[in-house]
Amino acid sequence: MDVTLHLAQDAEADALLGRSPLAALVGMLLDQQVPMEWAFKGPRTIADRLGADDLDAHDIAAQDPDAFSSLLSEKPAVHRYPGSMAKRIQQLCQYIVEHYDGDAELVWKGVDDGRELLRRLEDLPGFGKQKAQIFLALLGKQLGVRPQGWQEAAGAYGETKSFRSVADITGPESLAKVRAHKQEMKAAAKAAKGTAKSAGKSAGK
């Protein structure tokens, strides 16, 4: 991996994401309940605080849990919930050490079937189906990892010229489009919830 990503909107953080498979996975793991840029800047912040140029799965897996939690909690915190995220990152790294000898790229390297790659991503601690599909789309659209059937396995996130997720962000313009799409989805979900609530009240009369 050696590509230019634009997820953290920070040159050094994005450079790390583009060359480090583990950093990309950790950024994806952090991407929940915080702004995307905050999440994807996290791997660079963690590496800096560990005094390293990159993230190392063996090193992070072996860290004292309380010390690692404190490292993520230092201001500015790596996440809104640094304690729980520190635990998840260590679990992810421990899994990669146990199953891939600490080499995160082996999660997808040499995999020639999109469904198999999706299964591998879903098996990662902290990765549900949606997160796995988004990361699969990111691999295919921006990191050149395109096993047969990857777009189908990624679902809607694999569609070309869509602006649904971080997989589609290549700069400020696409970032704005993805944000707009997410706002539309939130509004639609809120409206559907309100409709269901009203229907329930009517049925209860």
Q: For residue range 151-189, what is the model confidence (pLDDT) as tens digits?
A: 999 999 998 877 878 888 887 778 788 878 777 877 887
pLDDT at 187: 84
Q: For residue range 37-77, what is the model confidence (pLDDT) as tens digits?
A: 899 999 999 999 999 999 999 999 999 999 999 999 999 99
Binning pLDDT at 50, 70 and 90, where does residue 1 land? low
Q: Is the pLDDT assigned to residue 21 strictly greater than 60?
A: yes
pLDDT at 172: 77
Q: Which residue has the tokens 């950790």?
A: 26
Least confident of 96-100, 123-127, 142-146, 179-183: 179-183
The closest of 144, 189, 133, 188 to 166, measured between CA atoms, is 133
Q: What is the DSSP string of 104-143?
A: GGGGTTT--BHHHHHHHHHHSTT--HHHHHHHHHHHHHHS
Least confident of 6-10, 21-25, 93-97: 6-10
Query: Model-level pTM?
Result: 0.86
